Chain A
Amino acid sequence: MTDSLPAPSVGEPVEPGRQETPTGSAGEGLSTISRATYVREAVLRNLFLVCACVAVAGVALIFLFVGWRGYPIFAKVGIGAFLGGGVWHPTQGDFGILTLIVNSLLATVGALVLGAPLAVGTAVFLSEVAGPRVRELVRPAVELLAGIPSVVYGFFGLVLLRPIVAKVFGGLGFGLFTVWVILAVMIVPTIAAISEDALRSVPDGIREASYAMGATKWQTIWRVLLPAAKIGIIDAIILGMGRAIGETMAVVMVAGNAPVIPNGIFAPFLTLTTVIVMDMPYAAGDHRTALFGVAIVLFIISMIFVASIRLVSRLGREVG
């Protein structure tokens, strides 16, 4: 086979396996690159295309599968009754997930209220305050937070945090408060990393201009840098929201999983994600379909998040 093909240009380091790829003569018009280089480039280009296609196909397949398995529940109980019903007791035929939606939002909003200032503060510290040596210490620590498996957060919450909460505030220690604390720590790395990028991308000229006007460091951060980076910071917070609402393992261990809207922040509650992990092992029939329905709702919520990030970015471009 190889004999019949024109030999590659002399002097090009060519991997032996590459030169026998029989492609057309598309590369012959270019005298500056060899045939082998051209082929290699084409192969790599298509490889990246395949990678991108796999990601897109993955999302599409999951959405189709979840939709296919879940949509019968909308037909069976009706979209209004499914999304608007307050009673989740699937083994007795009550498939209302409003309680779970509300609980998921309560958990997410609380985590953001606690976690976002912490994360943006960390980003400001890393980008504006810390010296290079401190930064080299703090940044890996924050990045490490992102690498801890969520089940470890959950275990930490169950074994260490929950008994403390129970001792200080009474009750069992399961509930919104415990979940908020755990989720707040979990979303810090996401929000901090992207916010730091946003702050760093503010040109130094702006900082210098601010100092030149006689502004203090605090005034520069608060009045100049944070407003200048706000689009990136909002993006970061939305991504953090996505992480918080989708978190499952850490939440299931400290939420207490009672399918009611909690009576206070120290009472057990069940969310959209935790109901799936709690019920999937034994759910059958309509119950299982309803769990896929819950997955559809989660999918739509995360699509809304992604869409809002794009919207914010576009607004940012138009304004800036």
Chain B
Amino acid sequence: MTHRRLAAVLLVAVLAISHLTGCVGKATGAAQTELTVTGSTTILPIAEVAADMFHAQHPDLRVLVAGVGSSAGIESVVNGTSDIGTSSRDLKPEEKSLGLVDTPIAFDAIAVIVNPSNPVKSLTTSQVAQIFEGTISNWKGVGGPDLPIGLVNRDEASGTREAFSKIVLNGGAFDPKAAVLPGTGQVRSVVAVSPTAVGYISLGFVDASVKALTIDGVAPTEKSVADGSYPISRVLHFFTKGQPNPLSKRYIDFVLSDAIQQDVVRAAGFTPIKKGAK
């Protein structure tokens, strides 16, 4: 937690400096030229690239992006230090009365992947949880062959692991005997060549080398993610206090444009919130 606090302190310092230097225009009533976006580190890849592209298109406008965690992002937009708070979780009940306006910008769907040769095609969420907690350790336990399950987990720095743990394990602990790999690519390549392996990666990174399992009867597709029926998925939010101000609106519209949704969002492994024009 300390590094988040440190990041928050740094952010405040940056804001203070920017207020001293850059935002004189604001005080005199001119149009706002600087936008502050803080919050989820998961959303950072989208928000940062979008900010750079936005600045490239509008050289006079700057978007400051900081990854401090979803809760800190929501807090900062509530108390006015940020224009937009980004969050990879929904609002808690006590946050719902704070007047925040939600703009969903992408889905973060996680596929449970196995080797293409694995006869298992479909699992329930609770079976997935039991597999990753270590209670089911043989494929026989879920209707597969009599082979030990080769668990592949991500490292704790991974946002995917954090999301998977929250959505699937729901507070339970990962089996500590699982292999821990430091990247989506490694998880995928290991599962691709190991017949008994099971792992999880962002849906956007699934390719033909692995098989994404159907969960609770729903296959992970962009459609099932978008209509909310695929269970291992969460919505990535932009929160503003009240309706977005003009500059926030321009940035949010830019993030929702095809340029970001179809390229940047997909490249980061997420699922676009809007159907592409193509």
Contact = CB atoms under 8 A, between A and B. Distances in A.
B25 interface: no
Among B150, B179, B186, B197: residue with most chain A CB under 10 A: B179
A214 interface: no
A174 B147 CA distance: 17
Contact of B193 (A166, A256, A260, A285): A166
A270 B155 CA distance: 12
Interface string B1-12: 111101000000
A278 interface: yes
A172 B177 contact: no
B157 to A, nearest CB: 4
Given A258-B177, A268-B179, A278 B155 contact: yes
B240 interface: no
B187 to A, nearest CB: 11
A166 B194 contact: yes
Nearest to B178: A258
A121 to B, nearest CB: 33
Contacts of A170: 147-148, 196
B176 interface: yes
Given A91-B156, A258-B177, A172 B190 contact: yes
Interface in A283-308: 284-285
B194 A257 contact: no
A158 B6 CA distance: 37
Contacts of A157: none
B228 interface: no
A166 B180 CA distance: 16
Contacts of B177: 258, 260, 263, 267-268
- Residues of A contacting B: mostly: loop
Given A172-B150, A172-B190, A268 B178 contact: yes
Nearest to A257: B180
Contacts of B178: 258, 268
B200 to A, nearest CB: 15
Contacts of B194: 163, 166, 172-173
Contacts of A270: 180
A285 B3 contact: yes
Contact of B176 (A89, A173, A252, A278): A89
A268 B148 contact: no
A268 B176 CA distance: 10
A172 B196 contact: yes
B98 interface: no
A89 B194 CA distance: 27
Contact of A172 (B4, B6, B179, B182): B179
A252 B155 CA distance: 12
A282 interface: yes
B153 to A, nearest CB: 8
Interface string B182-200: 1000100110011011000
- Residues of B contacting A: mostly: mixed
A170 B190 CA distance: 13
A171 B148 contact: yes
Contact of A174 (B4, B6, B179): B179
Interface in B112-133: none
A282 B182 CA distance: 12
Contacts of A91: 156
Given A170-B148, A172-B194, A257 B3 contact: no
Contacts of B155: 257, 278-279, 282
A282 B155 CA distance: 10
Contact of A257 (B147, B157, B181): B181
Contact of A171 (B157, B181, B182, B196): B196
B176 A259 contact: yes
A281 interface: yes
Contacts of A256: 179-181
A259 to B, nearest CB: 6
A12 B176 CA distance: 74
Contacts of A158: 186
B152 interface: yes
B152 A172 contact: yes
Contacts of B197: 172
A174 B194 CA distance: 11
A245 B182 CA distance: 21
B180 A258 contact: yes
Given A257-B179, A268-B180, A270-B180, A163 B193 contact: yes
Interface string A167-186: 00011111000000000000
Contacts of A285: 1-3
Interface in B220-269: none
A281 B176 contact: no
A173 B193 CA distance: 10
B179 A282 contact: no
Given A256-B181, A284-B4, 8 more contacts: A171-B196, A174-B179, A257-B182, A258-B178, A260-B177, A267-B177, A268-B177, A285-B1
